[in-house]
Amino acid sequence: MSVDFKEFTRKMEKTLEVLQDDFGAVRAGRANARVLDHITVEYYGVDTPVGQVGTIASPDARTLVIQPWDGSLLKKIEKAIQVSDLGINPQNDGRVIRLVFPQLTEERRRDLTKQVKNYGENSKVAVRNIRRDAMDYIKKLKKNGEITEDDQKKAEKDLQELTDKYIKKVDEACAVKEKELMEL
């Protein structure tokens, strides 16, 4: 009998998706509405993402314009952006909020590269935690007599190969993002 790793593979795949989402929020010198995904404002007593309380447009490569559907949210959105880690000062003209993305300095690129490495490291930890859970599952199967010792050894080897594959994918994703940040 072979051990089924579908659930663990799915979890590792999800870890990669989360990493890509995290990368989407890393500002790379171009205006990208995804940088606002993690910024929320209180709207009728509920913390709501900025993208769900108005329209976000990008009139040019380095500007985002946020037009809330409820004008009373302008100040709240402006404040939320100021206290976020975005590093951009919003311009409020009474109707819309403008975010002008400056060209990245060398120092800012290095900071963003460190942030990317941190996201990558967190993803590797998540993959290793999934491996640990899968190892526990394999040991439980062996203890319950559902698999033989040979099956256990093979399953552990297969699991390590799966883990190595996903760690490599995380490293590759980080390298691509770092290259993107440094070439702008």
What CATH number is associated with residue 44? 3.30.1360.40
In this structure, what are the phi and psi dihedrals at residue 2, rounded to the nearest 5 degrees?
A: -100, 155
Q: Which of 2, 96, 78 is nearest to 39 (CA)?
A: 78
Per the DSSP assignment, residues forming a β-bridge with 54 are 68
Alpha carbon distances (Å) from 31 to 60, 62, 146, 169: 8, 5, 54, 27
Query: Is the domain of 54 the same as that of 68?
Result: yes
Which domain-ending residue is among 81, 100, 119? 100
In a domain, 68, yes or no: yes
Query: Is the domain of 119 the same as that of 96?
Result: no
> Is pLDDT above 70 for 71?
yes
Query: Is the domain of 57 the same as that of 110?
Result: no
Alpha carbon distances (Å) from 9 to 4, 13, 120, 158, 168: 9, 6, 18, 12, 14
- The pLDDT-based confidence of 1 (bands split at 50, 70, 90) is low
CATH of the domain at 129: 1.10.132.20
Which domain-ending residue is among 100, 122, 144? 100
Which domain-ending residue is among 79, 100, 121? 100
Half-sphere exposure of 103 (CA within 13 A, CB side): 4
Query: Is the domain of 39 the same as that of 61?
Result: yes
Percentage of the chain modeled with pLDDT above 90 = 33
pLDDT score recorded for residue 86: 72
Average of pLDDT values for 61-72?
Answer: 85
Residue span of the structural domain in which 160 resides: 6-23+105-183
In a domain, 1, yes or no: no
Report whether 70 contacts 101 (CB < 8 A).
no
- The pLDDT-based confidence of 132 (bands split at 50, 70, 90) is very high
Average of pLDDT values for 7-28?
Answer: 86
> Is pLDDT above 60 for 20?
yes
In this structure, what are the phi and psi dihedrals at residue 145, rounded to the nearest 5 degrees?
A: 75, 15
Query: Is the domain of 17 the same as that of 35?
Result: no
Average pLDDT score, the chain:
86
Average of pLDDT values for 154-168?
Answer: 93
pLDDT score recorded for residue 139: 92
Domain count of the fold of the chain:
2
Query: Is the domain of 111 the same as that of 175?
Result: yes
Query: Is the domain of 164 the same as that of 118?
Result: yes
